[in-house]
Amino acid sequence: MKTTEDKLVAPLASWSDGAAKQSILAFVKRVTTEGSPDFVPVSDRIAVFDNDGTLWTESPLPVQLVFIVDRVHALASQHPEWKEKQPFKAVLENDLKTAAAAGMAGLIDLAMATHAGTTTEEFEQIVKEWIARARHPRFQRGYNELSYQPMLEVLAYLRAHEFKTFIVSGGGIEFMRTFSQASYGIPPEQVVGSSIVTKYEVRDGKPVLVRQAKVNFYDDKEDKPVGINTFIGRRPIAAFGNSDGDFAMIEWVTGGAGARLGLIVHHDDATREFAYDRAAGLAKLARGLDEGPARGWTLVSMKKDWNRIFAFENHTLVSVEEPDRAK
């Protein structure tokens, strides 16, 4: 079923003509054309998207890391001990290189100190207020403007073809849920992410959930398929990522029977956004570059395949043709 809107708007307008765009259009046509051997019923049309670097920019720092840094500064007066304690000391001195040297353990310390201790509703409020004010250092815009326009078009195109779209990210689930609906049209219950333990309490007759300083689930790498299975309960048929943290997720999704779409966004446009891959730490993309194409995954060059990256760019439509709608 095509919606009226879908017929009127050129699909994937910010995608340049080429193999990447065609792979998306061809996949959607195969799985939604009744009578096609690859037809997939609506109930199984599930697509999963990594968030940082796939749906919005993650450079020079993932947005949630910027939040952590800002919260360490905001909370410092309540924690005089942080002046002498790493990695807090380094963060307060804006020495992120030293802070990063504390590795994953240091990152978890920082995350717990800035994400726990509040109720879930207080935390939601803190994130919403922060994100309304925060500005990206290069683009000088709010993070809600730094969603990738071509990916918003993919989300809309899939939903117009009755896909259910989910985020599956290493980012904090409650962090992302504060903006997933507004930024991507994805409701909170379709966000899968990392979480900390919460505890139910009744305070003065009012029930609350209190966020504990303990990791519950880290939704990255081989645990992305685990998160998908736990939250969604069936294998999606399309997966979109940008780093080797998404490798297992794309492998799991494309490992099922029937038509599948695996897609990797390659950050190769330093002029309009950022260029990074093999040496990028948390956002490293090496195995995906080496093995993805042979596995039939679509490799997207931001430079060549996206004629527009952000909605705020001056823009001339390059690609406006309708796809073949023949049944």
Query: Which stretches of the chain bind its own copies, using CB under 8 A?
Result: 43, 46, 120, 164, 173-174, 177, 181, 187-191, 195, 198-200, 202, 206-207, 209, 216, 222-223, 225-226, 229-234, 248, 251-252, 255
**Shortest CB 2 distance to its own copies, Å:** 21
Query: Crossing angle, helix 149-160 and helix 19-32, to 10 degrees?
Result: 20
Least Cβ distance, residue 323 to its own copies (angstroms)? 28
Q: How far is the CB of 198 from its own copies (least distance, A)?
A: 5
Nearer Cβ to its own copies (51/195): 195
Q: How far is the CB of 109 from its own copies (least distance, A)?
A: 23
Q: Compute the CA torsion angle 30, 32, 38, 39 (nearest 10 deg).
A: -160
| Per-residue CA distances from 283 to 134, 221, 290 (Å) | 22, 11, 15
- One-character DSSP codes across 304-321: HHBS-SSTTS-------P
From its phi and psi, is residue 218 left (phi > 0), alpha (psi between -120 and 50) or beta?
Answer: beta
| CA pair distance 243, 266, nearest whole angstrom | 8
| DSSP codes of every residue in 80-102 | GGGGGSTTHHHHHTT-HHHHHHT
Task: State the minimum distance, in angstroms, from the CB of residue 278 to its own copies.
Answer: 22
Provide the minimum distance between the beta carbon of 236 and its own copies in the complex, in angstroms, as a whole number. 10
Instruction: Decide: 243 and 285 in contact? Cβ < 8 Å.
Output: yes
Q: CB of residue 49 vs its own copies: minimum separation in angstroms?
A: 15
Q: Are 249 and 50 in contact (CB under 8 A)?
A: yes
Nearer to its own copies among residue 257 and residue 279 (C-beta): 257
Contact 288, 263 (CB under 8 A): no
Q: Which is nearer to its own copies, 98 or 212 (CB)?
A: 212
Nearer to its own copies, 3 or 230 (CB): 230
Please say whether the dihedral angle defined by the alpha carbons of residues 112, 132, 47 and 274, taken in this order, is positive or negative. Answer: negative
Hey, is 323 helix, strand or coil?
coil
In angstroms, the CA 104 to CA 73 distance is 20
171 torsion bin: left (phi>0), alpha (psi -120 to 50), beta (else): beta
User: Which is nearest to 154 in space by CA: 320, 323, 21?
Assistant: 21
Q: For its own copies, which is the closer residue by CB, 101 or 182?
A: 182
Closest to its own copies by CB, 207 or 281 = 207
| Chain centroid offset of residue 268 CA | 18
Q: Which is nearer to its own copies, 188 or 323 (CB)?
A: 188
* Least Cβ distance, residue 229 to its own copies (angstroms): 5
Residue 28 or 173 having the CB closest to its own copies: 173
Phi, psi torsion values for 317, nearest 5 degrees: -65, 125
Of residues 124 and 269, the one with the C-beta less far from its own copies: 124
In the complex, minimum distance from the CB of residue 57 to its own copies, in angstroms, rounded to a whole number:
24
